[in-house]
Structure 1
């Protein structure tokens, strides 16, 4: 007797199977959110160099005096409609200070000598803050955004090997719980990253957990249902990935601070962990026994 024959005899998609199937879909939704969060938490709003010596500078022009200070100290070369500040995003005019008595008068000589700035102000009309604005991932450092995504995908690559072996060794439920721990702990800690190396490491660990969740949940879902429902179940679980995208968009629209946006869906994963913890431990045992029975019958035949 084959494994599929046993499942068909017990029921291909009964009430208990539907309950566990739904539980396998919820982590996929959470994994999708964490996978796409960098779109928002690493977003780089419009920005320009901060006016030297002006501690309360803002991206928005406050008055004519503020505009005069901008013209006095900031370089606007290469600007266009999409980027009005041009080179002023990364360069100040050399030897021009907000403390210069000519700053508010506008009667200063022309100068095209510039230097790189080390402080920036950001447009807060779309995002209150992002990780990119927190550590200034702009100008020469803007490649760090792609590096962060690359490191996350490296975690996905490693996790594909690790959790494939682990789930076969210790069982699907334990592997899912382990993935949820990696996923939720790393995601919550990401909100408190003080610098890029810490952020990148935590994104790597999050990638480990994300792919572990998706792989283990997908395989378990396919093992639970009979042949008649397997194709539909394989497609339906993907809908929860798509649902995660829509949920993230709604969260990002309502939550404009990147730390809060990072923590809220991560805390929801803790609830999913508790739900999986409550699943009867005999699930793994039953699946293992059924697999052993079919393997034994196949050997005898």
Structure 2
């Protein structure tokens, strides 16, 4: 069978067809960050205290300050204890004022939320404070568990039913359960809907990148991962604007659902991967798509080349077994997966702590979002100029060092800490794009989605642990930073074991993936000339 790269060269490996497909698959990334950012804003804590309205029955004319002074104990710093109140006594107001209340208890009548930043969050609606203060961390973990499950479910689904269906179905699920989230009557419905939103996000993310990558030539292959990340960064800034002006978490969910509805409409018209169709033996469908792509690109594909493409191809089978049976592929998989896990753990740990870097939470999120836009343009340049291997090693090692340096700065120096954290997150984000590109280029077509799905599953497990890692700060504030920085450094050093895949054709067999392939030569005349010289030798 003709190499699919030759077919791409003939029909145009980055023509109008590929650009339209790339835009259609990258555009949803403007909305996907809304789901992650909502974990930061919708879960924001509030300035709360126990509801002590009982005292108004004996002193209905008390001012708010008098009410709190009589019913709430104070902390050593002079502020009111947010989780305790004085036990109500059957005294008149004069006795309470004269003798005071001394015995304390936990909040018996709920809480009063005095947040001046947000109108409503899940913390205020579901009272996730005091003894329930870490439940919202569980909500974050459940969301990331959904992302993990999505990667597991839609990986094999994509291999069996195609990349197209594996991008369409998740978007429908995301639309439905984003609306359900906004309508949640209680915390349990909220958790269930967020889990399914996570499943949809995990399924769409990896399959959309693979679908775009398998239609694009070697020179622009990194665009699918990097441009989707650029739009994701813009999406963070867009969501920041939404939350700034609309500070009710339920309304924000409905605002998210609007563009998701638009995406669900057009996503049904995207084409399948011709490379996958050929691998599955669906030659008639593949031929129609190749001819359609050539027509849109205003190119023609030679009949001889098309006939070769439609010849029966020996199919490698084995799935996960094939991946781990090869010593070389196994080494590649474990190395790049470890790097991806370290990237996700660091990135999401920093993202979920956006409000703890001393500056205003909106300013921190704006800095984080804007800083990610240039990193992916730089990433596209670096992948071609320095290569995949050196770019990944540099991003992980330097990013890990920057995270660790936040511990060397006085904790009162908020600007320096926010700057180092932003730069570390900047590089981790770039390393994530490189991992996406690397996964497509390291493994053959038969197990490309399986390998990517397994790697994504492991990385999502790491991201699911990020709220847990952040909770280790209760033992010492340095522990989360030491963990994420050290893992980034170690994975950056291990990336030395990976091969360089810049400007090589996507492998279609295990033999090619193990390194028995050469660099891509875009000029057929050059290939012919080299073949002649090799024959003479």
Query: TM-score normalised to the size of structure 2?
Result: 0.49
Q: Partner residue of 1:93?
A: 86
Q: Partner residue of 1:72?
A: 70
2: CA distance between counterparts of 1:149 and 1:286? 37
Alignment of 1:74-153 (within 5 A): 74-79=72-77, 84-85=79-80, 87=81, 89-96=82-89, 100-102=92-94, 107-117=97-107, 118-153=109-144
Counterpart check, 1:165 vs 2:166: no
Q: Partner residue of 1:59?
A: none
1:233 CA displacement: 3.4
1:234 CA displacement: 2.6
Counterpart check, 1:191 vs 2:189: no
Alignment of 1:1-301 (within 5 A): 1-53=2-54, 65-79=63-77, 84-85=79-80, 87=81, 89-96=82-89, 100-102=92-94, 107-117=97-107, 118-279=109-270, 283-284=271-272, 286-291=274-279, 292=281, 296=311, 299=314
Asked if 2 retains the 8 angstrom alpha-carbon contact of 1:186 and 1:205, the reply is yes
2: CA distance between counterparts of 1:9 and 1:45? 60
Q: 1:96 to 1:71 in 2, by over 3 A?
A: farther
Of the two structures, which has the highest relative contact order with CA contacts closer than 8 Å and spacing of 6 or more?
A: 1
RMSD of equivalent CA atoms: 2.6
* Moved segments of 4+, more than 6 Å: none
Query: TM-score normalised to the size of structure 1?
Result: 0.86
Aligned residues: 284
Asked if 1 retains the 8 angstrom alpha-carbon contact of 2:211 and 2:273, the reply is no
Asked if 2 retains the 8 angstrom alpha-carbon contact of 1:47 and 1:123, the reply is yes
Which sections of structure 2, spanning at least 5 residues, go unmatched? 284-308, 316-508, 510-537
Asked if 2 retains the 8 angstrom alpha-carbon contact of 1:179 and 1:212, the reply is yes
2: CA distance between counterparts of 1:36 and 1:285? 31
Asked if 1 retains the 8 angstrom alpha-carbon contact of 2:86 and 2:101, the reply is yes
Asked if 2 retains the 8 angstrom alpha-carbon contact of 1:188 and 1:262, the reply is yes
Q: For 1:121-145, what per-residue CA distance to the aligned partner results, in whole angstroms no more than 9, with x for missing partners? A: 1124200011110010000011111
Asked if 2 retains the 8 angstrom alpha-carbon contact of 1:221 and 1:233, the reply is yes
What SS does structure 1 have at the residue aligned with 2:27?
A: helix
2: CA distance between counterparts of 1:129 and 1:243? 25
1:252 CA displacement: 0.8
1: CA distance between counterparts of 2:99 and 2:246? 45
Q: 1:96 to 1:285 in 2, by over 3 A?
A: same
2: CA distance between counterparts of 1:5 and 1:209? 34
2: CA distance between counterparts of 1:225 and 1:125? 49
2: CA distance between counterparts of 1:287 and 1:169? 14
